[in-house]
Structure 1
């Protein structure tokens, strides 16, 4: 099958009509779909609109009826559109489960070798010092959620209250954060760093530039001076694959709604098919993972997952900050449309265009 020649085979609710790369895609209803009466729509026209302001204008004028995944509007734009278009549009908030933050290179100084006592202290100081609430407000309009080792809504592993109580650094209430920030500064000072002797290192960043800037500003509070290198994704991927970084931005969505999606995708090395580029390994964590594989009940799995979360968090090779939530705006008159419970569901048309 060659896509470029129009050779497409599928069993979906729509059939291919026309494609112009980096411009538009046109699909029409497949009358032979195996579910009677579906899909509701006669067709779908998709447009490539890379500029955010142009997407907002296209939605405002009715050229497009929905914002595509990963191209959703800011809260400010959504609030303005809602004020103008009122009940004609809705903006459900859809969480984006996964892990988002940055990884240390623990195979070399200053944040490695992995088990070097000084390197571990430096990584832990960063874990303590980050103000996730401030990060959420400045970068994600306050719509994000904590990027915990397992999705924060899986309260059968830890409730949100338990995450905050048992994982130092996650709680951003002022009195708690000031305490953890003071501890982080003490660690850094004990290792020889301070206002007049900053730890200088690079941060390789590709995502929202504001995200990079906020992280750099926060780490200055504990005497770390980041040289932020914003680059395109192919260049970042080369640096990441070669281990050519001290800190590197990493964001990974959850491929399916189960803790093993986190375990395999986020906590396995890239050699094992995961997204852990830091060089970190932990036999204790891997042993617990193997023990919980195959267990079917949440009650049986939860004790293993709780211990695994603590090991991963305290290792602090990949530090989670905030996962965004998306304002998945669309016209309110779509018959049968229901916003997916998680943003990854948008990858299947069945979850969006076919819902009764």
Structure 2
């Protein structure tokens, strides 16, 4: 292999996410697929193996049962929906060749792409697509309780086979944002081993999985995108301890590792290329709104005044990242309400006054549960603890394993506060609807009838200007209610072997290895 001066294709994330279907009669086809902006003069080598470090174990190999964003970003390489996101935030045809959305947003029509095959060699049929959508929507006659039903897909009334290569999705009510949810994985109808040997249509095929150790995938030689992927094999190695990951990188046993802290990135900058993008997450000190004293809005507001968001960015990320004030990040562009970032300024005196009004003149004590495998969130929690002391509030950190966080915090809601990051699909409702009073994923146990009504209005309207108004209002409601202490959309720092090129950032959680290659 010839060695040349390394150069990276850094696909800088475009903050203006293109959200499809915000007007009636939307059409899409392969011509909308944005080409990769290959600025490198290097020639890709169509072979090679790499090891990618990931910070948590997978919660499921079945894409319809996965909950954690860390699982979904890996399964992105194995599975595709009718559409998929590209690096610019566009939803482009994948298993579908194109799509058409009716004027009233009630009928979505998808001609299927020719010659798409599952990893087991079977051709993708309309029946497979219908099964996959119905499974994701909870519409199968025999439902699997472990399947995570997408709430937006409960609006689906029918999934019809127009002919052998065309599928029609009919909705109960018009919804011009549904396309963002039809990224749900298309899987074989009669295949029963997704839990142990997953089969999809993506650029890589499953080889093996060892719990707590690794997932191994190999090139899908029959992938419909010409020339992709480049690599023969990718091993996703589970490295829950970030310090161990740095040692593995320096020892040469890892080629790529995301979610570096600023300190780690500086430590590795001579040996690795450091790619920088945005996580496209809402990082926050999330509160259990039914746990005292957080039932009192004045206490929640006091926390917001007592925490210096920019100070957190400066301490844990070298000033990188974007301060936010509600449950949406700047990548949502026109839907993002930037004014919410100024709802609470850092004001310790104001925090103390609110605490006194709420009956806590001497402060109070609470526990922050943080997944131990996410050093970035642990570091953020540690800064929060120190800042809250100035207002007389004592916060204690309890580091727990990721599996325990899922069971205790996310499912059982047995917590007072937690620091975590929430991701979203390419639909503005997805980043906000967890706050609806009856939402199954409302682990904050937040409830506000005004919020619920406004969200319903936002989803139902097909007029984009009305959607923008409603979604911005929803963000303001959350900020004024102090439903959480919203902190930042963090910067994403990734260490990449200098022999590799093509690493690409996405507006969703995705570690896309199909574009990565060794360069001559």
- After superposition, the Cα gap between the structure-2 partners of 1:38 and 1:103, relative to the gap in structure 1 and judged at 3 Å, is closer
Which of residues 421, 435, 446 is equivalent to 1:267? 435
Partner of 2:510: 345
Which of residues 162, 168, 172 is equivalent to 2:344? 168
2:292 matched to 1:109?
Answer: yes
Partner of 1:173: none
Higher relative CO (Cα under 8 Å, sequence separation at least 6) belongs to 1
Partner of 1:74: 261
Find the aligned partners of 1:252 and 1:221 in 2 and give their Cα distance.
Answer: 25
Find the aligned partners of 1:38 and 1:280 in 2 and give their Cα distance.
Answer: 44
8 Å CA contact retained: 2:199, 2:206: no
Which of residues 365, 374, 378 is equivalent to 1:209? 378
8 Å CA contact retained: 1:146, 1:152: no
Partner of 1:187: 354
Give how far 1:282 is off: 0.9
Give how far 1:111 is off: 2.3
Partner of 1:219: 388
SS in 2 for 1:11: coil
Give how far 1:343 is off: 5.4
Give how far 1:255 is off: 3.0
Find the aligned partners of 1:56 and 1:64 in 2 and give their Cα distance.
Answer: 9
Partner of 1:313: 479
Which of residues 11, 23, 32 is equivalent to 2:222? 32
Deviations 1:78-116 (A, max 9, x none): 223222x3xxx422212122322233333353222xxxx
SS in 2 for 1:10: coil
8 Å CA contact retained: 2:286, 2:485: yes
2:283 matched to 1:100?
Answer: yes
8 Å CA contact retained: 2:205, 2:218: yes
Give aligned pairs, total: 320
8 Å CA contact retained: 1:25, 1:45: yes
Which of residues 440, 446, 450 is equivalent to 1:284? 450
Give how far 1:295 is off: 3.6
Which of residues 310, 319, 334 is equivalent to 2:500? 334
- After superposition, the Cα gap between the structure-2 partners of 1:201 and 1:31, relative to the gap in structure 1 and judged at 3 Å, is closer
8 Å CA contact retained: 1:96, 1:253: no
Partner of 1:65: 255
SS in 1 for 2:384: helix
Find the aligned partners of 1:290 and 1:39 in 2 and give their Cα distance.
Answer: 41
Partner of 2:177: none
- After superposition, the Cα gap between the structure-2 partners of 1:75 and 1:228, relative to the gap in structure 1 and judged at 3 Å, is closer
Deviations 1:38-59 (A, max 9, x none): 2222222333344434433433
Find the aligned partners of 1:310 and 1:267 in 2 and give their Cα distance.
Answer: 13
- After superposition, the Cα gap between the structure-2 partners of 1:45 and 1:205, relative to the gap in structure 1 and judged at 3 Å, is closer
Aligned residue runs from structure 1 range 105-254, under 5 A: 105-112=288-295, 119-147=296-324, 148-158=326-336, 160=338, 162-165=339-342, 167-169=343-345, 177=346, 180-194=347-361, 197-207=362-372, 208-240=377-409, 241-245=411-415, 247-254=416-423
Find the aligned partners of 1:181 and 1:297 in 2 and give their Cα distance.
Answer: 42
8 Å CA contact retained: 2:313, 2:321: yes
Give how far 1:341 is off: 3.2
- After superposition, the Cα gap between the structure-2 partners of 1:36 and 1:250, relative to the gap in structure 1 and judged at 3 Å, is same
Find the aligned partners of 1:186 and 1:44 in 2 and give their Cα distance.
Answer: 55
Deviations 1:3-51 (A, max 9, x none): 686x442222233344444334443323222222222222223333444
8 Å CA contact retained: 2:287, 2:418: no
2:193 matched to 1:2?
Answer: yes
Deviations 1:297-356 (A, max 9, x none): 543311111211111111112221234222122234435x1421335132x545x449xx
Alignment gaps of 5+ in structure 2: 1-191
- After superposition, the Cα gap between the structure-2 partners of 1:202 and 1:44, relative to the gap in structure 1 and judged at 3 Å, is closer
Aligned residue runs from structure 1 range 291-310, under 5 A: 291-296=457-462, 298-310=464-476
8 Å CA contact retained: 1:18, 1:27: yes
Find the aligned partners of 1:27 and 1:192 in 2 and give their Cα distance.
Answer: 57
